[in-house]
Structure 1
Amino acid sequence: MKPAIMRKWYYGWNIVIVTSLITMLTVGTRLGAGPFFNPMLDSLGISRTLLSSIFAVSMIVYGIGMPIAGYLVDKLGTRFVLLSGAVMIAISTVWAVCSNDPVSFTFAYSILLSLGLSFTSPIAVTPIVSKWFTRQWGKALFYLSTGSMGGIAIMTPIFTFAIEWVGWKTTMLLLAGLFLVLIAASTLILSDDAPVNTDLLPGQIMMNRTDLSAPMISLDKWTDALATRPFWHITFGLFACGFSMNLLGSHGVPMLMDHGFHEHTSSFSIGLLGLVAMISSVFLGNLSDNISKRLMLSSIYIFRGAEFLLIVLIMSEWQLYMVSAFGGLVWAGSTALSSAILGTMYGLRWLGILYGWSYFIHQIGGAVGVYTAGWGYEFFGTHLFAFGTAAGLSALAGLVCLRLPAYNKISVSKGEEV
């Protein structure tokens, strides 16, 4: 009997692990703002609409920083961008906790902190992960997205308990310290110099590498993509994604509390959604390299729309937990699939900058969603308006993504995966 051959651990998975942790902190800070909302409201003494507007500005600035981060990653490398982001996060956090008026708080929290977070966002690390993978590209991007889901699942409950224990200001300072430690350590592991043949097996190197390097749509410059429909189909989907995700992240806990659920129950349900999404992303990652990405993306958006309609209508705890678990199944993957499709359509050369601009629209959607939630509640006296809008946009995004051009999946020989 021929002994089994043990394959060496592929270094690219170290890149995925480290970048997933960075993404978890970044997305957790940006989408886990819900537990901070009421304490900040009391501390600053401002209206719900004004604080929602401040949160909305933070979403826009976070989005503006995305293409800047993508451009700088291409020119100066991933490590430089991440370290710059960590420094901005540290400075802005100290400034924010020392602010006593909404103007100063807006400059610190909404502008400088958001710009720093954009430099540690998925946009900054997606290109380096993509460089290290070919055969398991979709899986790697899905595994990277577990960091985003972990930001919801892990950071939201942690923020809730930490704020109760030490207050929102100390919680933010501890978070900034964690950013500095993690990103400083990550620079010892991250490398932009991926092997020429990435993770391809010996029999796949000549057959597939050339095929993958050729995009479906050739561009002379990245701005040419703006004249193509697939870019805007993907971007509209990310707008709907940003609207819904940031709505839930900023107003999910306050909405559930307004509906009579305890603060811990509310934060746990959002955390449960993220936890199920982490598990789901592993499963979907294994599928993503074998079935149509556009059909997966469309299905995720349509089912997510149903989840947003259900979560605002539930009446009991068991219903809340069931809806959260259901939502978690389809919460993961929209950003991973969007970036993979962009890379396939236009090539890895333009992925960072195009994904950055698409994510900028994602954050505009987030800003609109956050503002709509605050304004809609004060104007209509209900959260149904904002969450119903999220449901409609998600369903429409699913239909739009069905119009993405189909492309032939690159055939790969079967082999052991690491």
Structure 2
Amino acid sequence: MNKTGKRTYYGWYIVISASLIVLLSMGLRMGIGPFVNPMILDLGVSRTEFSVIIAIGMIVYGLGMPLAGWLIKLYSTRFVLITGLLIFCASVLWTINANGMISFLLSFGILLSVGLSFLSNITLAPIVSKWFVKQRGKALFYLSTGGMAGMAVMTPVENTLIHYFGWHQTLLLLSGVFICVVLPSAIFIMRENVPEGADGVVTRGRVHNQDIQEKLTWKDAVRTRAYWQIVIGLFACGFGMNLMGTHAVPMLMDHHFEPMTASFGFGLIGIVAIFSSLFLGSIADRYPRKNILFWVYFVRGMGILGLVFVESPWQLFFVSVTGGLVWAGSIAMSSAILSDFYGVRLLGILNGWAFFGHQIGGAIGSFIGGWGYETFGTHVIAFGAAAFVSIIASIVSFRLPEKITFAKYIKDEVQSLSK
């Protein structure tokens, strides 16, 4: 109960629980930078070869997302979370005992990616969207805050744990934390039965729109230009975020920053994103979502480009703070727009395939980050490309429609109401 005597809306407990899960899964997926150098030394591979493994993992991570969306529709969020946890724990045990490149590729590159995809934002965004109508944008932004907190928290934590215990023990410790967070959340908190109207007042127009959305199929969605505009934006998001997650810390160390300074500078993006996402969440349902998405991609592109040219800690921290202001927005806004356009029922599968585009971008970004440096001796190629793609995404996002109408379903609805 709060001070006014009203019960706290149950949906917020789901948001908190989901945010903690995303904190861990995205924190590990996006904050892999501290693992790069010690794993390369242990495996005896080049940065390009390691980048190939990461790139394959990114694609598998993307393929796991529509699978997770399909399983949610077939079973439940709880089932997908517990399955993902089991896969993740098995992959960690295999990874720390892996011998040779093939074993490491199968365990760390493929199996771990499947497990993390089942514990990702894609699995949790549909249930959050179900519980929120009037405040859907805010709730999804808060969910994204978990991912940003993960990047802020996990990167320096992983760096510290690896320094004292090595990367094998660090993965084991993290798997124990995953069990303590994901298992009770899946069993006790994730409820699929939502009260009528969720958190908002259902108007006649909204009911009418929901009736039409209930009839939509995924084929209807992918035939619209707006869906592919979202996919283009998420491709850019994946390109930049995974390039940063895999290569930002090593890049900064190549530019003669101390390891802890590099890790903190990268983690600072997530720290700022935690607070900025709270602000963006407060305006997400008050202003056109496409306008917010435009600024997210534009400022992020400038930040990615700026990061490669910083020469001192204060410059690094300034760029990190600036980039962190918009770091959380793309995933939240994309999910909100998809649910607005096509309904919550299709959100899991549509979000999953859209995020496959995100992971294709992530695979390309992760590969180019290593290959570009070893081929040209500079990080400007990869980070400049990420900035360029982000600017393209900002333009495409600005051109999104305010809403989508499906003429054939509107005609059917009008005919049924007239009878």
- Is TM (by shorter chain) over 0.5? yes
Tell me, in whole angstroms, the C-alpha distance in 2 between the residues paired with 1:19 and 1:314: 35
1:209: Cα distance to partner? 4.6
Q: Which residue of 2 aligns with 1:192?
A: 192
Q: Which residue of 2 aligns with 1:94?
A: 93
1:223: Cα distance to partner? 2.2
Q: Check if 1:24 corresponds to 2:20.
A: no
1:116: Cα distance to partner? 0.6
Tell me, in whole angstroms, the C-alpha distance in 2 between the residues paired with 1:350 and 1:248: 30
Amino acid in structure 1 at the alignment position of 2:89: A
Q: Which residue of 2 aligns with 1:340?
A: 336
Bigger drift between 189-198 and 260-269 goes to 189-198
**Change beyond 3 A, Cα 1:214–1:396:** farther
Of residues 190, 210, 213, the one that matches 2:207 is 210
Q: Check if 1:82 corresponds to 2:78.
A: no
1:14-163 aligned within 5 A: 14-163=13-162
Of residues 286, 305, 310, the one that matches 1:309 is 305
Amino acid in structure 2 at the alignment position of 1:66: M
1:227: Cα distance to partner? 1.6
- Sequence identity (%): 50
1:176: Cα distance to partner? 1.2
Does the Cα contact within 8 Å between 1:152 and 1:274 map onto a contact in 2? Answer: yes
Does the Cα contact within 8 Å between 1:214 and 1:347 map onto a contact in 2? Answer: no
Q: Which residue of 2 aligns with 1:241?
A: 237
Structure 2 residues not aligned, in runs of 5+: 405-419
Q: Check if 1:359 corresponds to 2:355.
A: yes
Tell me, in whole angstroms, the C-alpha distance in 1 between the residues paired with 2:21 and 2:7: 25
1:28: Cα distance to partner? 0.7
Which whole-Å deviations, capped at 9, do the CAs of 1:231-264 have from their partners, x for residues lacking one?
1000000000000000000001000000010000
Structure 1 residues not aligned, in runs of 5+: 409-418
Name the SS of the counterpart of 2:302 in structure 1: helix
Q: Which residue of 1 aligns with 2:370?
A: 374
Of residues 267, 273, 288, the one that matches 2:269 is 273
Amino acid in structure 2 at the alignment position of 1:194: V
Name the SS of the counterpart of 2:192 in structure 1: coil
Does the Cα contact within 8 Å between 1:197 and 1:209 map onto a contact in 2? Answer: no
Q: Which residue of 2 aligns with 1:414?
A: none
Which whole-Å deviations, capped at 9, do the CAs of 1:51-84 have from their partners, x for residues lacking one?
0000111100000000000010111100000000
Tell me, in whole angstroms, the C-alpha distance in 2 between the residues paired with 1:219 and 1:364: 30
1:407: Cα distance to partner? 3.5
Name the SS of the counterpart of 2:65 in structure 1: helix
Does the Cα contact within 8 Å between 2:214 and 2:345 map onto a contact in 1? Answer: no
Query: For this pair of structures, how many residues does the alignment match?
Result: 401
1:330: Cα distance to partner? 1.2
Name the SS of the counterpart of 2:71 in structure 1: helix
Tell me, in whole angstroms, the C-alpha distance in 2 between the residues paired with 1:10 and 1:170: 39
Q: Which residue of 2 aligns with 1:230?
A: 226
Name the SS of the counterpart of 1:35 in structure 2: helix
Does the Cα contact within 8 Å between 2:216 and 2:342 map onto a contact in 1? Answer: no
TM-align CA RMSD: 1.4
**Change beyond 3 A, Cα 1:42–1:171:** same
Tell me, in whole angstroms, the C-alpha distance in 2 between the residues paired with 1:212 and 1:8: 29
Does the Cα contact within 8 Å between 1:219 and 1:225 map onto a contact in 2? Answer: no
TM-score of the pair, normalised by structure 2: 0.93
Q: Which residue of 2 aligns with 1:331?
A: 327
